[in-house]
Amino acid sequence: KEIEKQRELNAEFDKLSNELDILKKDNEALKKPIDLKIQDSKKDRIKEDQKSAVNELEKEQNSNNNTNSNASEKQKSAAQKMKEMSEELGESSSGESGGSSVAEDAEMLRQILDNLIIFSFKQEALFDKLSAKGEQDASQYSETVRDQNELRGLFEHVDDSLFALSLRQAELSEFVNEQITEVFFFFFFF
C-alpha cells in the first residue's frame, strides 16, 4: 500500500518535472527570459530520493520488517528538496529583479500616465477645434490633419513605453498588448 502511494508520488513528480522542462524551454524562447532558478541537479536528487524510498519500502516489505525508517528518511529528504525548489521558483517569479526594478517601473508608469493625459487633452482640443469649424473652409482641414499626425506620433512614443514596460513585467504583457491593439484599432480606423 505504501509502495503504491510512493509510486504515485514519483509519477506525479515526473509529470511536474516534465512540465518544468517545458516551462524552461518556453521561457528561453521569450525575448527577455525570466531567471527561473530551476536546478536540474536538484530535480535529479529528488528523483533519486524517491526511487530509493520505493526500493527501501520494497526491501522492508520483503523482509517483513515494519520499521520504515530508511524509506521515511528518503521521503522526508525528497519532500524537503521539493519545498526548497518551490520556494526558489516562487522567489524568481515574484521578485525577479528586486525592489529597484519595481520602483523604476512605477516611475516609468507615472511618466506614461502623464504623457497619456497630455495626449488626451490635445486630442480633445483638436476634436473641439474641428467641431467648431463645422462646414467652413476646407483648406483649414490640412492643419487639423497635420495636428492629428503629430498626435499619432506622440501616441507611438506612449505605445513604445508601454510595450517596454510589458516586457519587463511579464504578468502585464498580455493585458497591455491587448489594450494597445484596441487603442490602435480605434485611433487609426475611426
pLDDT at 94: 58
The pLDDT tens digits along the chain (190 residues) read: 677 887 788 888 888 888 888 888 887 787 767 776 677 777 788 888 888 888 877 777 777 665 556 777 777 787 888 888 777 777 665 554 444 577 788 888 888 888 888 888 988 888 888 777 666 666 677 788 888 888 888 888 888 888 888 877 777 788 888 888 887 777 665 5
Give, as one character, the DSSP assignment of residue 134. Answer: T
- Cα torsion through 115, 118, 120, 125, rounded to 10: -160
pTM to 2 decimals? Answer: 0.46
How far CA 76 is from CA of 2, 17, 71, in Å, comes to 14, 18, 9
pLDDT at 98: 47
pLDDT at 133: 67
pLDDT at 137: 64
Q: Are 95 and 116 in contact (CB under 8 A)?
A: no
Q: Which residue stretches of 37-98 are H helix?
A: 40-62, 69-94
